[in-house]
Amino acid sequence: MKMKHVIVDLKGQAKSFFRIKSNIFWTIAFPLFLILVFGAIFSNMGDSTTTLYVQDLDEGPGSTAFLEALNQTEAIELKFIDADEDIDQYIKDNSLTCVMVIPSNFSEAFVANSTATVAIDMRLDDTVSTSSVVRNIVSAVVNNFNLGMSGGTEHIQVDSDSIVQEHFTYLDFFIPGIIGMTIMTTCVFGMQGTISRFRAAGIFRKLATTPMRPFEWLLSRMIWLLFISLLTLVVIMVFGMLAFGMNMTINPEALLLIVCGSAMFSALGMIIARFVKNEETASAAANAITFPMMFLSGTFFEMSMMPEYLQSVAQVLPLTYLSQGLRDAMVYDNMDGAYSNLLVVAIIAVIFVVVAVLVTKWEED
C-alpha cells in the first residue's frame, strides 16, 4: 500500500467536498436544523405538567383541600370548568381528554365519623398517554386523604426520582442520537453516492488503469468520512452547548465509538453500492436501510416508548448500539454501557469492512 495514493485522493476529496454547497447543508446545517426544531419542541420536556380540567360541584372545604393537595404535587395543572356547565357537552365542544368532576356531596366525607362514600368522576381518554399519569396522581392524593381521615399512620413512603440525573434534559438524550444518525447518513450516503457516481462517470475504470489499488481508495474514503463525522460532532456539540446549554463530554470511548461507527457505516455504503449498481436504485436501497434505523434505533425517542416487538427489531440495528454507546459515554457517564456498545459496534464494523474490501473491485469479470 502506498500512502501517497491515499493522500492524493484525500486532497482531491477535500477540495471537491467544500465546493459543493449541498454537502455542507446535509452534513452540518441539516443536523443543526434538526436540533433546533426538536430543541424548540422538547426543550421543556421533564418540567412539563399535565392539564386536568376540574368541575367542582361541591365548592366546599373538602374539595378545596383536595384540589390544593393536587396542586401541591406540581405534576398537574388544574383548569376549572363552571359548575353550571353541561360537562358532557363541554368535553365534546373542547375535545378534552382529562376531566375530573367533584360531586356536590364531596365535603360530607370530611364530617367527623362520617360513613359516607363519595366517588370522584374521572373522565379520561385512555388512548392519550397522559391519562394514566393523571389517574395515578389523583389516586395517590385520594389514598393520602383516605389514610389521613382514617387516622392511619404512613409507615412506608415511596420516593420516586428519575434514573437520569436531574440536570439532564431531553436534548442531552437527543443530541448523541443525532450525532449517531448523522454519522450513519454521512457515511452510508457519502460512500454509496460516491461509488455509484464514480461508476457511472467511468472514474473507477480510469483508476483501474493507474497504480492506485481499490484498498487504497477505500481507505482514503473511510478516512475522509471519519473526518467529516468528527467535524459534524464538533459542530453539533458547540452548537448544543451555546444554544441549549447541553451537558456533554468528549472522551476516548466516544471517539472510539465514532471511529468504529464511521467505518461500520462507510462499509455498509460500499456494500450497498456494490450490489445495487444502478445509481438511483442504490440511493433508494440506502434510504430503505437507513430510514428504519433512524426511527427504530432510539434517535428521537427512548426505545422504551416503542412496542416490544419494535424494541426487538431495534436490537439488531447497528445504529442502536452507536447511539446508545454515545449516550452512555457522553451523557450518562456509564462507561460499562459505553464499552459493551463499543464492542458490538467494533465487531459489526470489522465484519462490514472485511466484506466491503472483498466485494469491491474495479476490474470486471
Q: Which is nearer to other proteins, 97 or 220 (CB)?
A: 220
DSSP 126-145: TTSTHHHHHHHHHHHHHHHH
* Distance (Å) of CA 74 to CA 82, 120, 125, 136, 251: 23, 20, 21, 14, 37
The minimum distance between CB 185 and other proteins, in angstroms, equals 21
Query: Is residue 121 within a helix (H) or strand (E), and if so which, with residue range?
Result: strand 121-124
CB of 265 to other proteins, least distance (A): 23
Q: Which residues of 21-59 are buried (b: 16+ CB within 10 A; e: fewer)?
A: eeeeebbbebbbebbeebbeebbeeeeeebebbbbbbbe
Give the C-alpha separation, 202 to 16, whole Å.
Answer: 17
Cα distances (angstroms) measured from residue 322 to each of 28, 180, 336: 19, 6, 14
CB nearer to other proteins: pick between 159 and 364: 364
Query: Residue 211 or residue 307: which is nearer to other proteins going by CB?
Result: 211
Residue span 185-204 as binding mask against other proteins, x where in contact by CB under 8 A, dash where not: ----------------xxx-
The smaller minimum CB distance to other proteins, of residues 144 and 278, is found at 278
Q: Does 12 bind other proteins (CB under 8 A)?
A: yes
Residue 65 and residue 62: Cα distance in Å, rounded? 5
Secondary structure letter of residue 26 according to DSSP: I
* By CB under 8 A, residue 1 contacts other proteins: no
The nearer residue to other proteins, 5 or 327, going by C-beta atoms, is 5
Q: Is 278 in the site for other proteins (CB under 8 A)?
A: no
- The separation between CA 188 and the C-alpha centre of its own chain, rounded to angstroms, equals 20
Binding letters toward other proteins, positions 303-342, x by CB under 8 A: ----------------------------------------
Nearer to other proteins among residue 15 and residue 155 (C-beta):
15
Q: Residue 357 and residue 355: Cα distance in Å, rounded? A: 6
**Stretch 17-46: interaction string toward other proteins, x if CB under 8 A:** --xx--------------------------
What is residue 150's three-state secondary structure? Answer: coil
Among residues 2 and 79, whose Cβ is nearest to other proteins? 2
The DSSP letter of residue 110 is G
Choose the binding region for other proteins from 16-24, 48-56, 121-129, 318-326 (rule: CB under 8 A): 16-24
Least Cβ distance, residue 206 to other proteins (angstroms)? 5
Which residue matches cell numbers 405538567? 49
Please, what is the angle between helix 214-244 and helix 30-42, to 10°? 30
Instruction: Give the largest Cα separation in the chain, rounded.
Output: 99
Name which position in 1, 15, 156, 242 contacts other proteins (CB under 8 A): 15
Q: At closest approach, how far in Å is the CB of 40 from other proteins?
A: 35
Each residue 204-243 as x (binds other proteins by CB under 8 A) or -, in order, gives -xxxxxxxx-------------------------------
Reference 66, options 79, 52, 80, 56; nearest CA is 56
4 binds other proteins (CB under 8 A): yes
3-class secondary-structure state, position 81: strand
Other Cβ atoms closer than 10 A to 83: 14
- DSSP assignment letter at 328: I
CB of 267 to other proteins, least distance (A): 23
**Span near other proteins by CB under 8 A; candidates 5-13, 50-58, 96-104, 257-265:** 5-13
- Within 345-364, the residues that bind other proteins by CB under 8 A are 362-364
> Cβ of residue 194: shortest distance to other proteins, in angstroms?
11
The footprint of other proteins (CB under 8 A) covers: 4-5, 8-9, 11-12, 15-16, 19-20, 201-203, 205-212, 362-365
